[in-house]
């Protein structure tokens, strides 16, 4: 358990540090992009990204997630290294074939929907990046399965740094969003080079592909692929519909708010990405320890997500004005709705991983297909007529439907995790923080209000017992000091 904690801590700490660096860079850069391009041009840029996102998962079809799990399970076996090399070769070739097909589908869809020439050029450039991604993703999955997320974290920082530096030059020179896409491709090339080098340093070289493995491999990966495909559809279908029915300006207003929300999703993703390969391995070696780890992980996610939703809702108009300027004032109303998706997104990703680790990825695929189908149907019915409000509401409802399904299928596991306790105490602290925020906002500058509200929230976590002795022990373990297992004393509410 100590070794497992150190591996997760190393991956989580490296991932979190890199994500902090990435998010500071990317958030600042994204705000610059939104402000410099303006509402309509940014709307077209966002639409290009959305069209690509509809098909990017087809370039993988679940192969990456399946590879992470299989490498984590194979690496301790006597024949593990050879089987991993063969798996890498098979996945690499399959992903290149799928990426070529997906790139063709992107361009064809743009042409069939009558996108303007400027947007078609953007889609073609994005298709080039997708081909590079097809090769890079195979090496990334093998590194992740080897629990070397620290190496991947550094590669992501270099990728984002390349994109931000080149993209900033592009914006300052006024070269337009096509040059931004080229800057992104340069970042993907850097990511691919570093990822391949990392795999080679670990001895994870490409073996001899076995075409007889391909069909069984695709069959095993398809449940993961359906998850990614339907998630991509539910996350970007609304943006595509807005662009088709309401034009670039509406797309820009919606995408500006949407981008701010999804910039915080990486916090959840880095924690879950760090946990997934290690927990997949531990599910084979020590399954009895998983409920306690699951419970603490869920609580940590809620401690982070709830104040973002509550505090963000309270300061939305002022925050949008400060970050994006008066031209995006209409984005505030969109943001005030979709910000409530944050805690549901944090929960849905985590609970989905819990089901996948148990080997029930088909259940996850079914749940996501149901929620994504509701998203697509609702957006098709509502966006053409109601536009922005419909898109925002459907974003939240989609995650609610997904989380509800996970809660139903994980009823016994959630009781073992003490999931209600993980939610209620942080929620109480966040509610108090929200009241304080609303009271302070008319009297203090925006960022002073945010700072004092954060202090209030931290105090609320301590007073409600949301953070217990065992959680402090976990923090000390992340710092590298081995500690004994600490059990919190029972209180009037359930213990940690």
3-14 residue pLDDT tens: 444 544 444 454
pLDDT category at 448 given cuts 50, 70, 90 is: very high
Q: Which of 89, 67, 87, 90 is nearest to 79 (CA)?
A: 87
Residue 490 has pLDDT above 50, yes or no: no
Q: Is the pLDDT of residue 37 over 80?
A: yes
User: Residue 71 and residue 69: Cα distance in Å, rounded?
Assistant: 6
pLDDT digits (tens, 9 = 90+) for 345-356: 998 888 888 888
For residue 343 the two structure tokens come to 């805690």
Confidence class for position 364, pLDDT limits 50, 70, 90: confident
CB 187 within 8 A of CB 135: no
Cα 361 off chain centre by: 18
Give pLDDT tens digits for 234-259.
Answer: 778 899 999 999 989 999 999 999 88
pLDDT band at residue 18 under the 50/70/90 scheme: low
Ranges 45-54, 149-158, 174-183, 347-356: which has the least confidence: 149-158
- Residue 478: predicted pLDDT: 34
Band of pLDDT at residue 120, cut at 50, 70 and 90: very high
Per-residue burial over 419-458, b if 16 or more Cβ lie within 10 Å, else e, is bebbbebbbbbbebbbebbeebbeeeebeebbeebeebbe
pTM higher than 0.85: no
What torsion do the CA atoms of 234, 237, 239, 243 make, to the nearest 10 degrees? -170
The pLDDT assigned to 2 comes to: 44
pLDDT value for 343: 93
On the question of pLDDT at 489 being above 60, the answer is: no
- Quickly state the pLDDT bin for 389 (edges 50, 70, 90): very high
Q: In this model, does residue 318 exceed pLDDT 50?
A: yes
Report angle CA 76, 218, 188 to the nearest 5 degrees.
Answer: 80
The pLDDT assigned to 485 comes to 30
475 pLDDT band, cuts 50/70/90, is very low
Best-predicted range by mean pLDDT (35-39, 383-387, 487-491): 383-387
User: What pLDDT was estimated at residue 59?
Assistant: 83
Cα separation, 473 vs 481, whole angstroms: 9
């Amino acid at each position: 358990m100590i070794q497992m904690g150190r591996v997760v801590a190393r991956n989580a700490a490296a991932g979190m540090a890199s994500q902090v660096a990435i998010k500071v860079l990317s958030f600042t850069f994204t705000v610059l992009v939104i402000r410099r391009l303006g509402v309509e041009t940014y709307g077209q840029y966002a639409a290009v990204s959305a069209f690509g996102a509809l098909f990017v998962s087809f370039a993988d079809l679940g192969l990456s997630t399946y590879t992470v799990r299989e490498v984590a399970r194979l690496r301790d076996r006597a024949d593990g290294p050879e089987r991993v090399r063969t798996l890498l070769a098979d996945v690499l070739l399959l992903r290149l074939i799928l990426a070529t097909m997906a790139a063709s589908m992107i361009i064809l869809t743009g042409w069939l929907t009558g996108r303007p020439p400027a947007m078609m050029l953007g889609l073609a450039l994005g298709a080039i990046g997708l081909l590079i991604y097809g090769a890079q993703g195979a090496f990334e999955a093998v590194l992740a399965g080897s629990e070397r997320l620290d190496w991947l974290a550094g590669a992501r920082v270099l990728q984002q740094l390349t994109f931000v530096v080149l993209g900033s030059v592009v914006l300052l020179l006024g070269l337009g969003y096509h040059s931004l896409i080229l800057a992104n491709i340069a970042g993907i090339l850097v990511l691919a080079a570093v990822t391949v080098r990392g795999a080679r340093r670990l001895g994870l070289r490409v073996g001899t592909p076995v075409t007889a493995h391909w069909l069984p491999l695709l069959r095993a990966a398809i449940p993961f692929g359906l998850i990614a495909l339907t998630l991509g559809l539910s996350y970007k279908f609304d943006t595509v519909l807005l662009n088709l029915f309401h034009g670039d300006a509406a797309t820009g207003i919606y995408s500006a708010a949407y981008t701010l929300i999804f910039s915080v999703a990486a916090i959840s993703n880095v924690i879950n990405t760090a946990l997934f390969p290690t927990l997949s391995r531990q599910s084979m070696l020590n399954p009895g320890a998983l409920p306690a780890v699951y419970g603490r992980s869920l609580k940590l996610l809620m401690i982070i997500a709830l104040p973002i939703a509550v505090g963000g809702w309270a300061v939305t108009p002022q925050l949008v004005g400060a970050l994006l300027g008066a031209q995006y004032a209409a984005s505030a109303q969109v943001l005030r709705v979709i910000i409530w998706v944050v805690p549901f997104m944090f929960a849905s990703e985590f609970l989905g991983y819990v089901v996948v680790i148990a080997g029930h990825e088909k259940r996850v695929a079914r749940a996501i297909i149901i929620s994504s189908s509701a998203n697509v149907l609702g957006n098709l019915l509502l966006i053409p007529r109601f536009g922005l409000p419909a898109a925002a509401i459907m974003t939240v409802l989609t995650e609610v439907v997904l989380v509800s399904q996970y809660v139903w299928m994980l009823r016994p596991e959630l009781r073992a995790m003490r999931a209600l306790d993980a939610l209620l105490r942080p929620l109480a602290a966040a509610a108090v923080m929200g009241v304080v925020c609303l009271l302070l906002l008319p009297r203090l500058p925006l960022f002073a209000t945010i700072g004092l509200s954060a202090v209030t929230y931290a105090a609320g976590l301590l007073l409600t017992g949301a953070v217990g002795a065992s959680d402090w022990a976990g923090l000390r373990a992340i710092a590298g000091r081995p500690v004994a297992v600490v059990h919190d004393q029972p209180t009037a509410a359930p213990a940690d």
